Amino acid sequence: MEEIVRASDVRHVYPDGTVVHFRGPDLVVRRGERVGLLGPNGSGKSTLLFHLMGVLHPTGGTVRVFGHDPAREFHRIQGRLGVLLQDPDEQIIAPTVRDDVAFTPLNLGYPPDEVERMVQRVAEALDIAHLLDKVPHYLSGGERLKVALAGALVTRPLLLLLDEPAAGLSPGERELLAGLLLALDPGMTILLVEHDMDVAFRVARQVTVMHEGRVIAEGTPEEISADELVQQVYLGARHG
């Protein structure tokens, strides 16, 4: 299968001197795979995701998305990439739902008529067509989650990156999120960065577990859930 993502020995130094070093096997995601990058807070998984998004540039190692360096060649991958951030309110920036969902394709240069068709298609798929003329910030949490996901999916991306989307959600909203992700095109490639084991195990078919920048386990959700080291790390993180 075509290789979509590869991150190798990524090292990043933040301005305050904090060093995050992704050690262990390369992170590789191939077309059509649904991979969970799991780990307790501070394990380095979000830093790695920001490199894949082109937000950060590594001080060491290599990052490739669709064969390109995201930090230097983001324009080459932008149309093939969808992103869902941890807080939907950080992602929803336009005065109406319609305007927000249309933002990315308009900025990519799609003709307005085509953008309207794209917006209508994704809105119907996520059951938010009746919300298109509403003000996003007056919607419920579940509705805002759908709007943010619609913005990520409107261009039919080949790769969907998710940055701890279950954080701060109620149990009902987490269930909604898992259902939405499971209902996506099975051919879509997904990399889910998550702290919540339950969500990661429901959505991902393969899971990589990080702790302090190091890969400590890889396998199916069933294999990871039975891994004693993973359980020790999570138990320690909860009581530490």
State how far the Cα of 2 lies from the Cα of 4, in Å rounded to an integer. 6
Percent of the chain with pLDDT over 70: 98
Average pLDDT, the chain: 91
pTM: 0.92
Question: In the structure encoding, which two tokens stand for residue 99, read together?
Answer: 């305007």
pLDDT at 22 > cutoff 50: yes
Whether 91 contacts 154, CB under 8 Å: no
Q: Which residue pairs, CB below 8 angstroms and at least 24 apart, start in 165-170?
A: 165/84, 165/85, 165/86, 165/192, 165/194, 165/199, 166/194, 166/195, 166/196, 166/199, 167/86, 167/87, 167/195, 167/196, 168/86, 168/87, 169/141, 169/145, 170/141
- What integer pLDDT is reported at residue 236 of this predicted model? 64
| Residue spans per domain, the chain | 3-86+158-239
**Which of the listed CATH numbers 3.30.1180.20, 3.20.20.70, 3.40.50.300, 3.90.1150.10 matches domain 3-86+158-239?**
3.40.50.300
- What integer pLDDT is reported at residue 87 of this predicted model? 85
Q: Note the pLDDT tens digit of each residue in 97-150.
A: 999 999 999 999 999 999 999 999 999 999 999 999 999 989 998 999 999 999
Q: Which residue has the higher pLDDT, 235 or 187?
A: 187
The arithmetic mean of pLDDT across residues 69-76, rounded, is 95
How many Cβ atoms sit within 10 Å of the Cβ of residue 141? 15
pLDDT at 39 > cutoff 90: no
pLDDT at 182 > cutoff 50: yes
pLDDT at 23 > cutoff 60: yes
pLDDT at 240 > cutoff 60: no
